[in-house]
Structure 1
Amino acid sequence: MNQISQPSVSFILPILNEERDLENCVSAILQQDYLGSIEIILALGPSIDKTTQIANTIAAGDTRIKLVDNPTGQTARGLNLAIKSSSYEIICRIDGHSEIDRAYIKTAVLIMQETGAVNVGGLMYANSEFGLQRTIAQAMRSKLGVGPSKFHTGGKAGASDTVYLGVFKKSAIIAAGGFDERYIRAQDWELNHRMRKQGGLIWFDPRLIVTYRPRNSFSKLAKQYFQYGRWRRVIARQHPQTVNYRYLAPPIAVVITLVSIFTGLFINRILILPSLAYIFLLLIGGFLIGKKLVDRLIMPFVLATMHFSWGVGFLTSPKKLFKD
């Protein structure tokens, strides 16, 4: 790809409480093997750690980094503010706790030019070398943990309903109305859905790898997946034709397991078999997915946390969560 075919790119990042990963994230963007001009726009929420101080320091050292105030701290609002402040047609969305490899934007732009897609993206590669975070990362790369989603577990390049983060055509985002700020979660999926309805092509390619740093505690993991479940129920209400078995599996598992335990204890012990089968599945899955002995021991609890938090979030999601 020559310089003429490498258009300028605006990287947009909604930032909140990212003191641990922000410098590495921005550094990875600045080290891209790319000849076109770039800018990095950090939409800063009201962080309670040293994120804002770090952002100010790195912005002072490089004129390509711009800071935008995002008082709500909400992701969709931050993304829209960053897009409004952006200068270029190609928009690359990155999260503050993610890292891209040096060829990421060059490959993404090439794929966009070859396919005509309005958004291209690839793998959300959860990874860590440390303790519980390492175990959670392994679970998030497994089909038992997250289902057969290509942007989690991989697959062939091709048209897709959605992708992780993404490299967009700004004009397509604007034509679709931008990110819907009513969505606290699932705003990426919802925007991709609207762009597809307008005839836009969303393209997945496994060569595009974004390293994602997962949560590092059971409580944070449970909160994250509870929110995923709640907002997936919102999607199911707003777009019922898009519901499939992958989204229904966690809430069904919650109901079956709880009913099995209750009826097994109070009606007939044989009725506890479905819950025992689920536990057995987690144990076997933990053994197969875990890389180290400690991962294999912890993995069943990680998987159960993901499944049950997602499922309970889906089942208890109130209609008032989404304001029409």
Structure 2
Amino acid sequence: MPSRAVSGDSGFPNSGPPVAVSYVMPVLNEAGYLEAAIASIVGQDHPGDFEIVLAVGPSTDGTADIVDRLVAADHRIRIVENPGMDIPIGLNLAIAASRHPIIVRVDAHTELAPGYTSRAVATLERTGAASLGGVMIATGKPGLQAAVARAYNSRYGLGGGAYHGEQATEGPAESAYMGVMRADALREIGGFDETLRRGEDWELNYRLRQAGHIVWLDPQLRVSYWPRSTLLKLHRQFFATGVWRGELVRRLGARNPLRFFAPPVLLISLVLSLILLPLHLTGVLSGWLGWMLALTYLGPIAYLGLLVVAAVTTPGSLADRIRLMVVLATMHLSWGAGFILGVVRGARDVVDRSRTES
């Protein structure tokens, strides 16, 4: 039955042992981060039983050896093979192998804050939600990764999604970051859509909401996230994400939030400006038509102003602020280019190769 936010009708037993939890995690080339992610799970204070199910792809950086060592050291950690590497398929495999009523998604590039699980389970019980998430707190090593983290945490970075904001308020939500979900609700809607390679969380929560379930944001839940550490990897990630968001627009149309259309509009105005500028400078475009077309420049000018404001209002050195501007532009323009491609021709076989290629 659909979840309802009614006190006393949460789906949890009123007595008996604490609710058991299954953590599911897709893993691919995460040698530098996996152990810290697992440690953040094992260190949770939730009194119920738990298991960790890793959906392991064919890594090339020594991740497999780390996984083997972790499994040998803790019987609560199990693996399922995910040879195709696709995240939704890996998540469904891990969920199918899970044995407990609450599913907690964790990525190998993230770390759960202390008390995360206890708070999440209590919030599920209090609200009757089927899916709930918290706030992403991006963090990075000094240099470019730190700039990427600042961009993620900034209101200028990812388009205003509630779970990226330090000032987020608790309540019903559009989607859930690193969802804590009821296994029975996931089974009811058929789990993650395996035809998607990006945007799978948003689409899953969309179907939950369409089925009458509640999706909830609890900003007291904090997840540390380690973003990409080079501009090339960042470009690949955001281009692929944009392509798959364009694919979702093809599938769902106007049911996508308007904020997703801002980066492609920016990119189109920038390209048009580059085409029109020499025509204006040489006098080919003049008169009323020239003045009308000159309005195209307002988009890039406004965007440059936004980048400057973002840099000026961010603490750090001049180099830090310049890096932030470059990172923001890379994120927005890569996403916009991918979005346009996804809308025009569909996602097809586009994948995020930022984890598999140097």
Q: TM-score range by the shorter chain?
A: over 0.9
Mark the structure with the bigger radius of gyration.
2
**Partners of 1:67 and 1:244 in 2: CA distance:** 36
1:224 counterpart SS class: helix
**Partners of 1:5 and 1:197 in 2: CA distance:** 32
Which one of the candidate residues 147, 161, 186 is aligned to 2:199? 186
CA distance 1:99–1:210, shift in 2 (3 Å): same
Alpha carbons 1:161, 1:193 under 8 Å: kept: yes
| Structure 2 partner of 1:34 | 46
| Structure 1 partner of 2:269 | 256
- CA RMSD in angstroms, aligned pairs only: 1.8
| Structure 1 partner of 2:326 | 301
Q: CA deviation at 1:158?
A: 0.5
Aligned length: 322
| Structure 2 partner of 1:62 | 74
2:192 counterpart SS class: coil
CA distance 1:3–1:213, shift in 2 (3 Å): farther
Q: CA deviation at 1:314?
A: 0.6
Deviates more, 1:123-132 or 1:203-212: 123-132
**Residue identity opposite 1:298 in structure 2:** R
1:164 counterpart SS class: coil
Deviates more, 1:176-185 or 1:124-133: 124-133
1:237-252 alignment, distance < 5 Å = 237-252=250-265
CA distance 1:320–1:264, shift in 2 (3 Å): closer
Deviates more, 1:212-221 or 1:309-318: 309-318
| Structure 1 partner of 2:33 | 21
**Partners of 1:177 and 1:282 in 2: CA distance:** 42
Deviates more, 1:22-31 or 1:122-131: 122-131
Q: CA deviation at 1:239?
A: 1.1
| Structure 2 partner of 1:311 | 336
1:227-238 alignment, distance < 5 Å = 227-238=240-251
**Residue identity opposite 1:125 in structure 2:** I
Q: CA deviation at 1:244?
A: 2.9
Alpha carbons 2:37, 2:111 under 8 Å: kept: yes
CA distance 1:239–1:28, shift in 2 (3 Å): same
2:25 counterpart SS class: strand
| Structure 2 partner of 1:211 | 224
Matched, 1:76 2:62: no
What runs of 5+ residues in structure 2 fail to find an aligned partner? 1-13, 283-290, 350-358
1:17-166 alignment, distance < 5 Å = 17-154=29-166, 155-166=168-179
Alpha carbons 1:14, 1:95 under 8 Å: kept: yes
CA distance 1:92–1:204, shift in 2 (3 Å): same
**Partners of 2:204 and 2:46 in 1: CA distance:** 27
CA distance 1:279–1:241, shift in 2 (3 Å): closer
Deviates more, 1:308-317 or 1:283-292: 283-292
| Structure 2 partner of 1:288 | 313
**Residue identity opposite 2:300 in structure 1:** S
What runs of 5+ residues in structure 1 fail to find an aligned partner? none
1:10 counterpart SS class: strand
**Residue identity opposite 1:203 in structure 2:** W
1:147 counterpart SS class: coil
1:165 counterpart SS class: coil
Alpha carbons 1:123, 1:208 under 8 Å: kept: yes
**Partners of 2:346 and 2:256 in 1: CA distance:** 20
Alpha carbons 1:117, 1:202 under 8 Å: kept: yes
Relative to its length, the structure with more helix (as a share) is 1
Q: CA deviation at 1:188?
A: 0.8
**Partners of 2:204 and 2:329 in 1: CA distance:** 30
**Residue identity opposite 1:250 in structure 2:** P
1:194-205 alignment, distance < 5 Å = 194-205=207-218
1:286 counterpart SS class: helix
Give the TM-score normalised by the residue count of structure 2.
Answer: 0.86
**Residue identity opposite 2:126 in structure 1:** E
Alpha carbons 1:140, 1:152 under 8 Å: kept: yes
| Structure 2 partner of 1:279 | 304
